[in-house]
Amino acid sequence: MRVLTLGLSLMLIAGTSPSLAADAQNGETLATRWCTGCHVVSDEQRKGSDMAPSFAAIASQPNFNEERLAFFLLEPHPKMANMALSRSDTKDLAAYIAGQKHR
């Protein structure tokens, strides 16, 4: 019985490993590919559209929530290009945006 309990515990720990975490570096690649036409996605970018907030402004909103943003990015939006991102991609992009918050 102890072996079974230990095995199940190890499986749960492995299931929450960092390898399943969002990849902000991939999010940066996606942002550069899809978002720079409208949003300022980093401190290095100087110009975006006046109609779209910068990623720093999005991340700095008091009610910013990375999971909610990832879900939002799954839905098509009239003002945004149809990016057809996977769930993993939206999590990566949301993680990158979260990292743009100015302290």
Q: What is the pLDDT of residues 44-57, one digit of tens each?
A: 998 988 889 999 99
Give the mean model confidence (pLDDT) for residues 81-91: 87
Give the mean model confidence (pLDDT) for residues 33-60: 92
Give the mean model confidence (pLDDT) for residues 7-28: 65
> Is 23 strand, coil or helix?
coil
Give the mean model confidence (pLDDT) for residues 28-51: 92
Give me the pLDDT at residue 6, please.
45
32 membership: H or E segment, kind and range: helix 24-34
75 vs 94: CA distance, rounded Å: 14
Cβ contact 89:95 at 8 Å: no
Task: Inform me whether the pLDDT recorded for 83 exceeds 90.
Answer: no
Q: The pTM is what? A: 0.76
Quote the tokens at residue 103: 């302290």
> Quick one: pLDDT band at residue 102, thresholds 50, 70, 90?
confident
